[in-house]
Structure 1
Amino acid sequence: MLIDWFTVIAQMLNFLILVWLLKHFLYQPILNAIDTREKGIASKLADAEAKEADAHKQQEDFEAKNKSFDEQRAALMTKADGDAKVEHDRLVDEAHKQADGVRASEAAALKDARAHQAVAIRRMAQNQVFEITKKTLADLATVTLEERIGEVFTRRLRLMNVKDKDEMGAALKASPEASLVRSAFNLPDEQKAAIQNALNETFSAVIRVRYETDANAISGIELTAQGQKLSWSISSYLDSFDRSLAELIAPPTKPEPTPAHDAEVK
């Protein structure tokens, strides 16, 4: 059988042309479409992975924020508990101090009231004693209370012990000014002369004195010179009465109960 080479070559040429046509117009577009499809899928996969990674990152950030919030909340709660305890202790301490201050104020007020009451009672008692003494002396003798007090003072002046006499004499003689004789009443000239004579005789010198009255002084006479003092008054006899009176009006002391401040404050 003879081969028709022309036909074979023509068929081969047709086949090549067909292949080229298929490749150029059919296969290549399909390949391009497949490549484009693959690229699109790869892009979508990459975008999905990016979104997934971003979602994971957001989740981690959210968890970190929640953890930080929990830590901050715990720290704030701890601080709040500490501040509340400090404030509670401060309020309790302040309540204790206020209660102590109120008790101290009440005690001071009560003490002042007692002191004023004692002074008033003592003054009243003294006045009563003075009046009774004056009336008694007026009934029993011809001298007044003031005259009797002057006599007692001059007698005490003459009966001073050696030590007191030396100290008072040195003070009287060294005083650049006239020494002071203070009394609660105006001394008559006779009593002034008697006191002057007693001073001159006691200290063997002419003692210069000046007289002064003090309405607030208790009935008596007082001699002062250079820090030295010689006095006599009825108040000395009222000292024991004053102490007895103070004990009488003072209420019995009772131990104070321990205040339950914590229970009250809470």
Structure 2
Amino acid sequence: MKIDWFTVIAQIINFVVLMWLLKKFLYRPILSAIDERESNIKKQLLAAESQKKEADQAKDEFNHKNEIFNKEKDVLMQKAADEAKAEADRLKASARDEANKLKNSLEKAFAEDQAIKNDNMTKRLKGEVLDIARKTLKDLSSVSLEDQTVAVFLKRLNGLKADEKTKFSEALRGGKAILVQSAFALSGEQRALVKKAISSLLKPDSIFEFKIQPELINGIEILTNGYKLSWSVAEYLGSFAEDVEVATK
């Protein structure tokens, strides 16, 4: 078989030209595209890795912040609970103090009211007893209660012991007016009896001053230079008044 070298050479040349054309216009763009795609894939993978790291870092940071928040939340909750308890204790103590103050005020007001009632009752009872004593004395004798009071006082004055009589005489010689106070107005005769009894203990030219003092409760007292000599129904009503006060509590 005869080889057509011209044809062979032409085909070789055509093949070489085809390969050059393919390489220039087909393979190189494809390879470039493949390289570019690989480069893009590598970039995407690197970006994804970076995003993953950032995500992990953000997750760790979030977990850390969440842990800190939980700790701070627990501290704040405990602090709020402590403050609420302290405020509740303060309000309870304040309410207790106010209740005690109110209780004390009520007890004081009640005690004052009872004291006023007892005092009024004591005064009323004393007055009633005094009226009864006056009526009884009038029924039993012809002497009034005032006359009997003066008589008892003069009896006490004349019955002073020696040392008391000395003290009284010294006080009467002080030069000041002798104050005679009585729960009722003394008649002229009663004043004369008192002056006569006192004058027996000092000089007769002494100055007397007579005053009415209802608080003595049907009594008489002599005041001069700090010395006092007295007698009144109150001395006998004292124990009775105490019994009344105990009974009315």
The answer to whether TM tops 0.5 is yes
Identity %: 35
Q: Are 2:212 and 1:213 aligned?
A: yes
Specify the alignment match of 1:198 in structure 2: 197
Separation in structure 1 between the aligned mates of residue 79 and residue 201 of structure 2, nearest angstrom = 86
Alpha carbons of 1:157 and 1:38: their partners in 2 closer, same or farther (altered >3 Å)?
farther
Separation in structure 2 between the aligned mates of residue 123 and residue 101 of structure 1, nearest angstrom = 32
Specify the alignment match of 1:245 in structure 2: 244
Which whole-Å deviations, capped at 9, do the CAs of 1:175-211 have from their partners, x for residues lacking one? 6x52432222111222222222322322457543322
Specify the alignment match of 1:153 in structure 2: 153
Alpha carbons of 1:173 and 1:21: their partners in 2 closer, same or farther (altered >3 Å)?
farther
Q: Report the alpha carbon displacement of residue 161 of structure 1 after superposing the two structures with TM.
A: 3.4
Specify the alignment match of 2:4 in structure 1: none
Alpha carbons of 1:93 and 1:170: their partners in 2 closer, same or farther (altered >3 Å)?
farther
Work out the number of aligned pairs and report it.
Answer: 238
Alpha carbons of 1:44 and 1:165: their partners in 2 closer, same or farther (altered >3 Å)?
farther
Specify the alignment match of 1:90 in structure 2: 90
Separation in structure 2 between the aligned mates of residue 212 and residue 142 of structure 1, nearest angstrom = 26
Separation in structure 1 between the aligned mates of residue 90 and residue 83 of structure 2, nearest angstrom = 10
Which whole-Å deviations, capped at 9, do the CAs of 1:53-88 have from their partners, x for residues lacking one? 322232223212322221222123222332333344
Gaps of 5+ in 2: 1-15
Q: Which protein has the larger Cα radius of gyration, Structure 1 or Structure 2?
A: 2
CA RMSD across the alignment: 3.7
Equivalent residues of 1:185, 1:214 under 8 A apart: yes
Which amino acid counterpart does residue 104 of structure 2 have in structure 1?
A: A
Q: What's the TM-score once normalised by structure 2's chain length?
A: 0.73
Which whole-Å deviations, capped at 9, do the CAs of 1:111-140 have from their partners, x for residues lacking one? 334333332332232222222332333344
Q: Report the alpha carbon displacement of residue 219 of structure 1 after superposing the two structures with TM.
A: 1.4
Separation in structure 2 between the aligned mates of residue 153 and residue 129 of structure 1, nearest angstrom = 20
Specify the alignment match of 1:185 in structure 2: 184
| Mean CA deviation greater in 234-243 or 113-122 | 113-122
Q: Report the alpha carbon displacement of residue 38 of structure 1 after superposing the two structures with TM.
A: 5.0
Separation in structure 1 between the aligned mates of residue 144 and residue 171 of structure 2, nearest angstrom = 32
Specify the alignment match of 1:262 in structure 2: none
Q: What's the TM-score once normalised by structure 1's chain length?
A: 0.69
Alpha carbons of 1:70 and 1:207: their partners in 2 closer, same or farther (altered >3 Å)?
farther
Alpha carbons of 1:94 and 1:149: their partners in 2 closer, same or farther (altered >3 Å)?
same
Specify the alignment match of 1:6 in structure 2: none
Q: Report the alpha carbon displacement of residue 216 of structure 1 after superposing the two structures with TM.
A: 4.1
Which amino acid counterpart does residue 233 of structure 2 have in structure 1?
A: I
1:112-191 paired onto structure 2 within 5 Å: 112-174=112-174, 177-191=176-190
Q: Report the alpha carbon displacement of residue 151 of structure 1 after superposing the two structures with TM.
A: 2.2
